[in-house]
Amino acid sequence: MSVSSATASADTAPAIVTPTRRARSGAVVVGAGPLSFADVVAVARHDARIELDPTALKGVAATRGIIEGLAGDADPHYGISTGFGALATTFITADRRAQLQASLVRSHAAGSGPEVEREVVRALMLLRLSTLMTGRTGVRPVTAETYAAVLNAGITPVVREYGSLGCSGDLAPLAHCALAVMGEGEVRDADGTLMGGGEALAAAGIGPVVLAEKEGLALINGTDGMLGMLILALDDLARLLTTADIAAAMSVEALLGTDAVFAADLQALRPQIGQAASAANLRALLAGSPVVASHAGPEDTTVQDAYSLRCSPQVHGAARDTATHAAAIAGRELDSAVDNPVVTLDGRVESNGNFHGAPVAYVLDFLAIAAADVASMSERRTDRHLDVARNKGLPPFLAHEVGVDSGLMIAQYTAAGIVSELKRLAVPASVDSIPSSAMQEDHVSMGWAAARKLRRSLDGLGRVLAIEIMTAARSLDLRAPLQPGPATGVVRDLVRTVADGPGHDRFLSPEIESVVQLVATGAVTEACASVCRGLI
């Protein structure tokens, strides 16, 4: 596979989830072209099998011939016959080069902290394999084949939370994966059992790789960890931003708000793409609502709703546009061959700086800002449900027996606490840099850190939205005999399968967690889609 010389413009940015290219077997084909977002999600989250494109493997072998030719050259070549980083000027004789590559991986597998999630490690390994299959890294075909075999066997190297500065690649995380392919280090097998890398490979019938010139460097020099987490985050956001529109619609309805402000002609006066999509969702979600119809017309004395209701499309839409921008960056990164040095299309071996994670780090930070703001608006809507001065006739805190019961008072506290943390997580990681490698690597991206905090941000966003949905569902119940519209009503009914309606106080945490799962699994969006066609 050759890397294209052109990149997509913002106007031709890929969708948040793109179609998956599959072989007849249902496997994801690596090497036939850039992976799609859906390819990455399928392998990382759903254990899709991998097949290597035979033509691309021939290209890998051809490029390897260039590396082997340079290995016999008396002149030093970085990564082939020299040391690394600050030791790039140190010549390594032929009889020590296998040790050089193995030592590189062993020394760089220096992560610390809790284990990184299985899906992240699988995404990271798939993306490194994709770069190996471009034929621009100089590895042998057997090395790429072993990576595919490890993924297909469900073997997951143990990668630790800390160890990447997001420059020169996600070094420690990638090194832990390379160590496992060498038959060393720690892994978890397909059942999740912790064992040695050699033991796991033997059980799966996979021979360990003995690294040759350039290979250790090629296995650890990429933005694969942060890119994998970005793609998984975009997959989550595709669900969460639609869920945010659903939650907002339920709140507008239950708080006797108006849907008139979401009219298409009003939204078109500010032609932001995401805003239009979010407003279209709100119109569809509130269509046919008896609650909305009950106070529509001149008898409604409300001049205009609060910002957290009225401006939902503007905030949710801005988050959508941010995700679209991030998807464009991720799409270009998927069409990249990130390594140093790299074998060019005309056969030169050249040093470069493409491993710097700035492009990915920036959008990871940008998405954390968007997630914090969407959650902040959601929490403000939740609070309106509970305040008797603003909820238009509902009991204080939606309590069953005011004074005896606290209702959902503390559920709002939980949402507020999460939002406060999301605001802290919105502080960019990519503005920081700590020099390393004896000042050779004197500016780094911190993209891995940006990705790690974004994962926590999106978990928090889902929880805040779940609390709003649970709260709005109780408010809608309390509006009886008025009934919600078809779309919001189906979500209220779904919530009732895991959380009881209004009544005396009870143990609330299990109900919150159950609604969180409805959001996380996509059950909320699927329920809405079953009665509301064209939801974006």
> Which sequence spans correspond to the domains of the chain?
10-222, 229-337+376-529
Cα–Cα distance measured from residue 491 to residue 449, given in angstroms and rounded to the nearest whole number: 35
- 319 Cβ contact partners less than 8 Å away, ≥ 6 residues apart: 237, 241, 244, 274, 370, 371, 373, 374
DSSP element (H, E) containing 29: strand 28-30
Do residues 348 and 335 make contact, with C-beta atoms less than 8 angstroms apart? no
Tokens of 241: 């931003």
Indicate which residue of 78, 162, 307, 413 is catalytic: 78
Strands of 186-327, DSSP E: 186-188, 194-196
DSSP element (H, E) containing 160: strand 160-162
| pLDDT at residue 273, as a whole number | 96
Query: How many residues does this entry show for the chain?
Result: 536
Cα–Cα distance measured from residue 536 to residue 277, given in angstroms and rounded to the nearest whole number: 7
CB atoms within 10 A of CB 428: 17
Bridge partners for 22 per DSSP: 28
- 276 Cβ contact partners less than 8 Å away, ≥ 6 residues apart: 264, 267, 268, 313, 317
| pLDDT at residue 41, as a whole number | 97
| pLDDT at residue 367, as a whole number | 98
289-307 burial: b if 16+ Cβ within 10 Å, else e: bebbeeeeeeeeeeeebee
Residues in the chain with pLDDT < 70? 1-25, 74, 83-90, 299-301, 433, 437-440, 442
| pLDDT at residue 20, as a whole number | 41
Is 78 catalytic? The answer is yes
Do residues 341 and 350 make contact, with C-beta atoms less than 8 angstroms apart? yes
Cα–Cα distance measured from residue 343 to residue 158, given in angstroms and rounded to the nearest whole number: 30
Cα–Cα distance measured from residue 154 to residue 187, given in angstroms and rounded to the nearest whole number: 10
| pLDDT at residue 7, as a whole number | 33
Tokens 């009950």 locate to 294
Do residues 21 and 36 make contact, with C-beta atoms less than 8 angstroms apart? yes
DSSP code, position 74: S
**Position 265: which residue type?**
D
Strands of 284-442, DSSP E: 342-343, 349-350
Do residues 33 and 1 make contact, with C-beta atoms less than 8 angstroms apart? yes
**Cα angle: 167, vertex 240, 521; to 5 degrees:** 100
- 196 Cβ contact partners less than 8 Å away, ≥ 6 residues apart: 184, 185, 186, 187
**Cα angle: 163, vertex 184, 455; to 5 degrees:** 35
Angle at which helix 171-181 crosses helix 197-204, to 10 degrees, equals: 50
Helices marked H in 296-425 — which ranges? 307-310, 312-334, 358-386, 409-425
CB atoms within 10 A of CB 266: 12
DSSP element (H, E) containing 113: strand 112-115
CATH of segment(s) 10-222? 1.10.275.10
Are 10-222 and 229-337+376-529 the same fold in CATH? no
| pLDDT at residue 430, as a whole number | 82
- Paired sense of beta strands 50-52 and 28-30, if any: parallel
Residue 430 phi/psi, 5° resolution? -75, -5
Tokens of 457: 């941000």
CATH of segment(s) 229-337+376-529? 1.20.200.10
Cα–Cα distance measured from residue 119 to residue 56, given in angstroms and rounded to the nearest whole number: 26
